[in-house]
Amino acid sequence: MRILLTTLLPVAAMAAVAGYAGSARATTFAAWEVANVAFGDTLNVRKYPSSNSQKQASYPNGTVLQMTGRCTGGVNLLDIAYLPDWKQAEAIRYRWCEVWHDPARNGKFVTGWAYGRYLRPA
């Protein structure tokens, strides 16, 4: 019984997150990492896919972000997941991709947008 509970609890937690994500138009997550940001700088996650949009949060190189899979230009991260990592990164290099994150670190997750040039598959 103990093994069953330790196996099912993480699955139930992920299902709850996926269900909550659905209310914010996110259906599933792909883990991508912040990369290629200049030393001492951070990647800004913005409210809309534009460099002029309101900044929600910023993340340094190495931070793993939860991506909804949706990018501008009709690119879906889940559709390109079979490609080698470098080809996936190239496919979104000039796209904005939607992030599911907690900018205030208060448990209230929202969607935001990160520029693909600074992301790579985790």
| Mean pLDDT, all residues of the chain | 84
Task: Please state the rounded mean pLDDT for residues 14-40.
Answer: 66
Which residue, among 95, 40, 103, has the nearest Cα to 66 in the 3D structure? 103
- Enter the tokens of residue 39: 């030393």
Residue 16: the pLDDT is 40
- CATH number where 19 lies: 2.30.30.40
For 60, the domain range is: 2-121
Least confident of 9-13, 81-85, 87-91, 100-104: 9-13
User: Tell me: the pLDDT tens digits for 103-118?
Assistant: 999 999 999 999 999 9
Residue 14: the pLDDT is 41
Task: Please state the rounded mean pLDDT for residues 39-66.
Answer: 97
Domain count, the chain: 1
Return phi, psi of residue 37, to 5°.
-80, 140
Task: Please state the rounded mean pLDDT for residues 60-79.
Answer: 96
Task: Please state the rounded mean pLDDT for residues 8-30.
Answer: 46
Instruction: Give the DSSP H or E segment for 39.
Output: none
